């Protein structure tokens, strides 16, 4: 007779209808910023008749929606561009779609942030900054979905990962779509009078965006489209100065508001709040003009929410992956700072903050010790800790070595 599950799977295999397929386990794509990736990561236990091991899955979940929320100028768009580039970099056929409704980007800046050549930028980034609407945004997502699912053989690849039952995981190569910003995404048919009226515009926009996001979420997952939305935190104008309305969503502070409707927030896998921190000066500390930016994961479906990591923003070059890792290790006490710095437990390896990068790339002994310290600290961020006797594979170390160029 056979189980119902066996018969159902056999029938679906014959139908070859992708809409009826059984769900495939998630994989995650590293963004290039290790503290953030591990903060959002988790451990996978693979156990079958022939296999029994764990591996670290870190980064952004395939086919998910991620919303970056913060004040203007906090680095939201820069982070989205850099993370998108690092996700697609290993895949020659992968593409970034960038709807820059605010028109704040330019080709030179995109080349700088992505480390793509002008030719690579033209090939891998589809950029537009005019005539973006909620309706044609949806049509673009639907078109990507149709192209990838109708040409599955051209886009499917072996991820090299296993699900919990020991089955190899196959996915469509990732596509990253950046929408900047959600507040500027409006319906095509919004009249000038409605737009100027304020309240009618807000209501129409929220209603349309809710419908759009409800429809695109299944397509994102099926076609492995990772959506990055940018959303601005604004000051709420109170008509009555003695009255303070309840925050729109839990992570907003009193007097703060988010435009664009709630659907994109509620349907997102991740909500990331981006807040400015201390300023950095080139003649002090790390030796750059920039700032510390706090990345707080407000919502996560893969790890505990409500935690944050510091990221180093270089005004000239964007977020610095190596210095962000340095700042994270400093925040945990793994790097002890003072007149000189050293790795905890290795007081003999002293260095100055501004010389950190040079020492990391020119001193092999220091780099080896640093990798060990970084690995141990990063793994404390992961969920579902494993018993001491459990043996690990090494994808986490491979990720670290790749980022550090070792």
Condensed to tens digits (0 to 9), the pLDDT of residues 292-327 reads 999 999 999 999 999 999 999 999 999 999 999 999
- 316's tokens: 């000239």
Q: For the chain, what percent of residues have pLDDT higher than 90?
A: 73
Distance CA 174, CA 158 (A): 12
Distance CA 125, CA 89 (A): 12
pLDDT above 70 for 394: no
195-199, 242-246, 312-316, 373-377: least confidently modelled range? 195-199
Q: Report in angstroms the alpha-carbon separations of 82 from 162, 176, 319.
A: 28, 11, 8
258 falls in which pLDDT band (50, 70, 90)? confident
60 falls in which pLDDT band (50, 70, 90)? very high
The one-character DSSP state at 182 is G
Residue among 341, 339, 326 nearest 377 (CA): 326
Distance CA 57, CA 42 (A): 5
Q: How high is the pLDDT of residue 189?
A: 76
Fold of 25-328: Rossmann fold (3.40.50)
In 141-269, DSSP assigns E strands to: 156-162, 168-172, 175-180, 225-232, 234-235, 256-257
Handedness of CA 324, 325, 330, 336 (dihedral sign): negative
Average pLDDT, the chain: 89
Cis ω for the linkage preceding 272 (within 30 of 0)? no
Q: How high is the pLDDT of residue 279?
A: 97
- 298's tokens: 């407000």
**Whether the Cβ atoms of residue 257 and residue 236 lie closer than 8 Å to each other:** yes
Query: Residue 59, by phi and psi: left (phi above 0), alpha (psi -120 to 50) or beta?
Result: left
pLDDT above 90 for 34: yes
Q: How high is the pLDDT of residue 196?
A: 47
**Whether the Cβ atoms of residue 396 and residue 56 lie closer than 8 Å to each other:** yes
Extents of the domains making up the chain? 25-328
Q: Report in angstroms the alpha-carbon separations of 382 from 35, 43, 112, 373.
A: 10, 7, 31, 15
Number of residues that this document lists for the chain: 406
Residue among 326, 215, 229 nearest 272 (CA): 229
pLDDT above 90 for 8: no
Residue among 59, 45, 27 nearest 300 (CA): 59
**Whether the Cβ atoms of residue 227 and residue 174 lie closer than 8 Å to each other:** no
389 falls in which pLDDT band (50, 70, 90)? very low
Q: How high is the pLDDT of residue 46?
A: 96
Query: b/e map of 101-110 (b: 16 or more CB within 10 Å)?
Result: bbeebeeeeb
Q: Tell me which long-range contacts 108-117 makes (C-beta under 8 A, separation of at least 24).
A: 110/81, 112/317, 112/318, 113/78, 113/81, 113/82, 113/85, 113/317, 113/318, 114/81, 114/82, 114/84, 114/85, 115/85, 116/85
Instruction: Give the pLDDT confidence of 163-202 residue by residue, as tens digits.
Output: 999 999 999 999 999 999 898 998 987 645 555 455 556 7
């Amino acid at each position: 007779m056979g189980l119902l599950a066996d018969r159902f799977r056999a029938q679906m295999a014959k139908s070859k209808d992708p809409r009826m397929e059984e769900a495939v386990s998630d994989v995650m794509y590293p963004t290039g910023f290790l503290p953030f990736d591990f903060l959002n990561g988790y451990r996978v236990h693979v156990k079958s008749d022939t296999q029994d091991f764990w591996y670290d899955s870190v980064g952004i979940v395939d086919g998910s929606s991620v919303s970056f929320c913060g004040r203007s100028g906090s680095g939201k768009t820069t982070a989205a561009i850099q993370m998108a580039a690092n996700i697609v970099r290993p895949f020659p056929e992968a593409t970034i779609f960038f709807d820059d409704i605010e028109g704040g980007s330019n080709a030179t800046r995109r080349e700088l942030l992505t480390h793509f050549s002008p030719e690579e930028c033209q090939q891998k980034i589809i950029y537009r900054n005019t005539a973006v609407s909620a309706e044609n945004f949806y049509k673009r997502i639907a078109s990507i979905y149709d192209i990838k699912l109708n040409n599955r053989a051209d886009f499917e690849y072996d991820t090299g990962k296993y699900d919990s039952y020991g089955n190899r995981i196959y996915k469509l190569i990732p596509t990253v779509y950046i929408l900047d910003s959600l507040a500027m995404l409006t319906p095509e048919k919004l009249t000038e009078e409605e737009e100027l009226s304020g309240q009618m515009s807000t209501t129409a926009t929220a209603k349309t965006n809710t419908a759009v996001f409800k429809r695109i979420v299944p397509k994102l997952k099926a076609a492995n489209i990772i959506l990055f939305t940018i959303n601005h935190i604004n000051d709420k104008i109170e008509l009555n100065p003695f009255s303070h309305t309840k925050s729109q969503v839990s992570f907003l502070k009193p007097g703060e508001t988010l435009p664009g409707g709630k659907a994109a927030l509620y349907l997102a896998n991740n909500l990331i709040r981006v807040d400015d921190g201390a300023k950095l000066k080139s003649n002090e500390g790390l030796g750059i003009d920039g700032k510390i930016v706090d990345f707080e994961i407000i919502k996560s479906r893969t790890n505990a929410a409500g935690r944050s990591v510091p990221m180093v923003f270089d005004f000239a070059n964007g977020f610095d992956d190596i210095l962000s890792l340095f700042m994270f290790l400093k925040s945990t006490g793994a790097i002890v700072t003072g007149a000189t710095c050293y790795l905890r437990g290795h007081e003999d390896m002293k260095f100055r903050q501004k010389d950190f990068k040079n020492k990391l790339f020119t001193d092999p002994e220091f780099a080896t010790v640093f990798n060990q310290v970084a690995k141990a600290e990063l793994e404390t961020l992961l969920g579902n800790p494993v018993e001491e006797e459990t043996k690990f594979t090494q994808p986490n170390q491979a990720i670290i070595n790749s980022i550090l160029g070792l």
